[in-house]
Every structure is written in C-alpha cells, then in structure tokens.
Amino acid sequence: MKENTCYDKLINGVNENGTIVFYGKKNPMRAFLMDVDLFAAALKKRGFEKGDVLSVYLPTSLQAIVAFYACSKIGVTANIVHPLMPFAALKENMKAVGAKGLMYYDATLSSRDVFKDFNGILIECSVADYMGALSPFYKIYGLYKCRGNAKNTSYRAFLKSGKNGDFSQYGGAEDIVVTMHSGGTDGTPKILKISNRALNALVDNLLFLKDHETKGEYSLVMLPVFHAFGLGISVHYALTDGYNLCLASRFNARRANEYIKRFNVTFVAGVPVMFKKMIAEKNFSGHRLKKLKQVWCGGDVLPENTLKTFDEKVRNVGGTARLMRGYGLSEVCGACAANSYACYKDGSVGKPFENTTIKIIGDDGQVLNNGEIGEILVSTAAEFSGYVNDGDCKIILDGKPFVKTGDLGYVDDDGYLFVSGRKKRTVKINAINVFPFETEEKIRKLCGVKDCAVIDFERNGRIEFTAYVVAENEKRSAVEKEIFDVVNPSLIKYARVRNVKFVEALPLTKMGKIDFNALKSKGD
C-alpha cells in the first residue's frame, strides 16, 4: 500500500498480533484496527467530509488514538486539545478551527450542561469503553463525576453505528491530519497544522536510528497525544515500527516505572521533568530496567545530573540503555536531531536526522560558521503546514524552506548541534547578548542543585539577574557561595547573578516546562 496517510503507514507497519495496554488492561491490536475503521465509517455516516474538523478533548487514551487514525483515513482533521483546557478556551479553539464535532471524557467534566449550546456532534468517552468486565465500575464513576444532560452519543454506540458503513478511504498526503496548540517560535500561542506527509516523514527519519528489530516490544506512552512529540514519536512512530503500546493516560512517575518493569518496556520518550521524577522514585530499580533499549529526551533542557543519574541507575542493574538528548519543536513534528549509540557527544542534542538540514543564522539573516551562536533553522520533510489563520514561521534559504525555531545554538565542526537557549530569553545589555540558559547550566552542575531558573529584572535602570534555585536544604549555603565564587567569575560581567533565592520547586507550564513568565510576574 502506498503510504499517503498516517492510516496507510499504520496498516503497513503495525504488529497485528500486538496489544495496546490501557489502564493496565491489554487490548488486542486487531480490535483497535477494527475500531479505527468503524470510527471512520461512523464519521462518514454523520456527515463528516474531507477537510472537516473533529475536536478531540481527551487525555492519552485508546479513543484519542482511534480518532486520530480514523480522521487520517478519510481526510478529516483531528483537532487534539489539552483535556484540562477551560471550557471557555475550548469554545474559542473550536471556533478558530471550525470544529464540526467533539469527543470528551465523562470523568473530566463536572456537568454536560456546558454543551447545551453546541450544535455539533458530541461523542462521550469513558475509561469503561475498553475495560471489559470492569467496565460497569468505571461507568458508575463516570456517571458520578459528570452530571447533567447533553445531546450526545456514547463512544461505543458511535462505533456501532459505523457497522455496514462506507469503509473506503479518501485521505491524502497533504491533508491536515491534526491541529494542536503550540507556544509558537516567537513565544505567541498558536494553533499549528500538521499533514499526513509530515508525520510520516518524521517516522522515516527516525527509522534511520533503528538498531534492532522492534516488533513485539513495548513503547511506554507517557507523553500526551496533544503534543507533537507524544503523538509523532511515542504513538505514530512506535505503532508503525511494530511496537506494542503501554498508555499512561496521566503521567505518574511511580506508575511509569511500574509499567516499565511489568511490561518489559524497551522504548520510552519523555521530557526532562518526567525522567527527573522517575529516577527519584525508589521503584526505579531492579533487573527489568535492563530491558530498556531506546530512551529519548527532548522538549526542554535536560540537566546533566539527571542524565548521569539515569544512566548510572540503569548501568548498575546491568543495563546498556542511555538517556539520549534530542532536539525538536512542534513545528517539525517534535524532533529533528538526536544523539544515538552510533553518534553521541556530551552536551549536544545530537546530529540532524537523515533528510534534515540545520543552519545557524545571525541577527542580519546571514548563515554563520561552525561554532558561532545564532538562531537555529531547520529544513525537513517533517515540517508543519503553517498556523491556523496566522501564516507560518518559514524562510527560504538556497531555494529550500527552513523553519525559524526561535532557539539559539551552534553546530560544531563534527556536525553536532548544541542548544544555547531561547532567542526570546536572550537579554541584551549594552549591545551584548546575554543567555540566561548558560548561567542555569553552570548552576545545575553544582553539588546539591536539583534545578534552577535565572530571571532578569530591571532595578534603577539596570538589568540584573536573580537565580531561583531548588537545592538540598543542607547544601544551600554552599551552593550560594559557589554561585558567587565559582559561577559568576566564569561569566561575562553582564551575565552575573546578583541575587539568589532558594525555592522548594519551580513553577511549571502544563507541558511540564519551567514557567519563566510566572517567575518574572511575581517580581524579585
């Protein structure tokens, strides 16, 4: 079968004898594939046509993955949104994309009455949909959590309506298969559009990193499907390369560790805060950690101590897996460079994938030489198709489109990419660019430091930096002394920390990244 759509790639690569674990229960892959076809047929029966939009207001779940591939099959767009998005924001989002229907979870709403003015198709989902003999208990819980009435259809009834329906396929490579939230490369929230072609190109790029037969192994899906990293890598790449899936609907470090050991997970992708929490749990131990083979980390800065602790704990039980730094953004489907066992360099985020070009440009738009810091540009077949009602962030160089990432970094003489921070976090003092990220990296390496964030504040007409540090209580005095005596002398004078504040934890965004804006808004 020609792989025009994500559905095509799924059918060509999936392990039909595999399973998808949902709430600890194994569900046959063949049943999942049948549900995809039934859901697609049901959408057609309800009047969905090529180019229409279905909003998926669900956590990482079987229903969300079924809907995604069903939409791909028939040319409908799955608008995947955060399941905890306030309903007022959800309504604005659905209006922006022109959603014709909505899927939601019974247990995440307090009342169905919020839908009384919605004229589209409502599909109510429940954990009970895939829990077999335990379904009645989950159904009762859903009824208790979600009251009120709405003109909805249950997920199971919706699937049933697809029987004897139209099972033909209408999707194409350039169809927008998914829309999702993005922070935007300039820091402005946007809704981005991703095509079948882009997600399939991501899979093709990742296959170049494959170093063993993966059919029948387990991928732990702990990244959310409303994020390109989670959908593109943990789900689409894994399924199309023959993995079974183990779904973690809501991340919990202890439970993630349990899943790794219970199902002999070999592949895990996550963001730094996830791995940091996992290695802090006592149950990140035991001989089954030896089963891990591929562990990828992206989405944010990976502290060196987190990487080293992870690798050491795995190595101590006889394992060989290493936590691999990677780099990407939603605008390139979540990933475009990564370290691998064949190509690895400390401190770097690896080399660009096959069929991917990375260039560095200066403020004047000119391409810089190796070793010079500038904005990172990415050219890849996995690039997005633009923002909803807001253009894109691409420029043309040498006749090729490049995505302007808004990130700063450099490429060394061996072709490895190093990330220096966000362009929007660059602070200019006396015409000198200062990168708080570099200061943070130095502080994170101090003994006893768990994490930190460096924020700029204006005082008496001058820019000064405050370091918010999470550190072990008994080492705080030593850490503060080292910041002033060791870190500051290693920095240019404009970048030096003037104040140190110890906190129990740094504020995080919904995506688990440090919320720098929240720190800055609190004032110094």
- Give how far the C-alpha of residue 146 lies from the chain's centroid of Cα atoms, to the nearest Å: 28
Handedness of CA 453, 458, 460, 462 (dihedral sign): positive
Evaluate if residue 228 carries a pLDDT over 60. yes
**pLDDT score of 511:** 66
DSSP 100-117: EEEEEEGGG-SBGGGGTT
Name the DSSP letter for residue 73. H
Question: CB of 480 within 8 A of CB of 414?
Answer: no
Q: Are residues 413 and 446 in the same domain?
A: no
**pLDDT score of 1:** 61
Evaluate if residue 185 carries a pLDDT over 90. no
SS (H, E, C) 313-340: HHHHCCCCCCEEEEECCHHHCCCCEECC
What's the structural domain count of the chain?
Answer: 3
Answer whether residue 118 is part of any domain: yes
Name the DSSP letter for residue 65. H
246-304 tens-digit pLDDT: 999 889 999 999 999 999 999 999 999 899 999 999 999 999 999 999 999 998 888 88
φ/ψ of 367, rounded to 5, equals: -70, 130
Q: Are residues 336 and 451 in the same domain?
A: no
- Give how far the C-alpha of residue 413 lies from the chain's centroid of Cα atoms, to the nearest Å: 30
Give 106 or 230, the one with higher predicted confidence: 230
> Tokens representing 477?
């005095």
Answer whether residue 184 is part of any domain: no
Question: CB of 34 within 8 A of CB of 73?
Answer: no
Name the DSSP letter for residue 475. G
Give which of 218, 237, 200, 163 is closest to 19, Cα–Cα: 218
Q: Are residues 54 and 196 in the same domain?
A: no
The mean-pLDDT minimum among 9-13, 219-223, 514-518 falls in 514-518
Domain CATH code at residue 266: 3.40.50.12780
Question: CB of 27 within 8 A of CB of 62?
Answer: yes
E strand map for 280-341: 294-297, 323-327, 337-338
Cβ-based burial of 214 (10 A; exposed 0-12, middle 13-18, buried ≥19): buried
In which order are the strands placed within the sheet that holds 449-459? 449-459, 462-471, 497-502
318-359 tens-digit pLDDT: 999 999 999 999 999 999 999 999 999 999 999 999 999 999
How many residues comprise the chain?
Answer: 524
Answer whether residue 441 is part of any domain: yes
Contacts for 474 with CB less than 8 Å, ≥ 6 apart:
448
Q: Are residues 151 and 255 in the same domain?
A: no
69-117 tens-digit pLDDT: 999 999 999 999 988 787 878 888 999 999 999 999 887 776 677 777 7
Evaluate if residue 133 carries a pLDDT over 70. no
27-46 tens-digit pLDDT: 999 999 999 999 999 999 99
Task: Enter the pTM of the model.
Answer: 0.84
Q: Are residues 260 and 295 in the same domain?
A: yes
Answer whether residue 134 is part of any domain: yes
227 in the Ramachandran plot: left (φ > 0), alpha (ψ -120 to 50) or beta? Answer: beta
The mean-pLDDT minimum among 193-207, 303-317, 370-384, 414-428 falls in 414-428
Q: Are residues 221 and 311 in the same domain?
A: yes
Q: Are residues 439 and 418 in the same domain?
A: no
Q: Are residues 318 and 440 in the same domain?
A: no
Answer whether residue 182 is part of any domain: no
| Mean pLDDT value across residues 122-126 | 93
Give 88 or 317, the one with higher predicted confidence: 317
Answer whether residue 92 is part of any domain: yes
User: Is residue 144 very low, low, confident or very high in pLDDT (cuts 50, 70, 90)?
Assistant: very low
> Tokens representing 171?
């999707």
Domain CATH code at residue 460: 3.30.300.30
Q: Are residues 167 and 233 in the same domain?
A: no
Evaluate if residue 428 carries a pLDDT over 90. no
The mean-pLDDT minimum among 156-165, 232-241, 428-437 falls in 428-437
Q: Are residues 382 and 233 in the same domain?
A: yes
Q: Are residues 33 and 69 in the same domain?
A: yes
Evaluate if residue 369 carries a pLDDT over 60. yes
> Tokens representing 179?
């829309």
> Helix count (H) and strand count (E) of the chain?
15, 26
> Tokens representing 178?
């998914």
Quote helix, strand, coil % in the chain, to nearest 5.
35, 30, 35
In which order are the strands placed within the sheet that holds 77-80? 152-154, 121-125, 99-105, 53-57, 77-80, 176-182, 190-195
Domain CATH code at residue 120: 3.40.50.980
Q: Are residues 366 and 309 in the same domain?
A: yes
Give the end of a domain, one of 422, 444, 472. Answer: 422
Answer whether residue 372 is part of any domain: yes
Answer whether residue 369 is part of any domain: yes
Evaluate if residue 419 carries a pLDDT over 90. yes
Evaluate if residue 147 carries a pLDDT over 60. no
Domain hosting 228: range is 191-422
**pLDDT score of 298:** 92
Where do runs of H (alpha helix) occur along 99-170?
A: 135-145, 155-160
Dist CA 298 CA 312 (whole Å): 19
Dist CA 160 CA 182 (whole Å): 34
Give the end of a domain, one of 383, 400, 422. Answer: 422
In which order are the strands placed within the sheet that holds 323-327? 25-28, 19-22, 244-247, 218-221, 265-270, 294-297, 323-327, 337-338, 351-352
Q: Tokens 């939009």, residue?
A: 53
Give the end of a domain, one of 172, 206, 231. Answer: 172
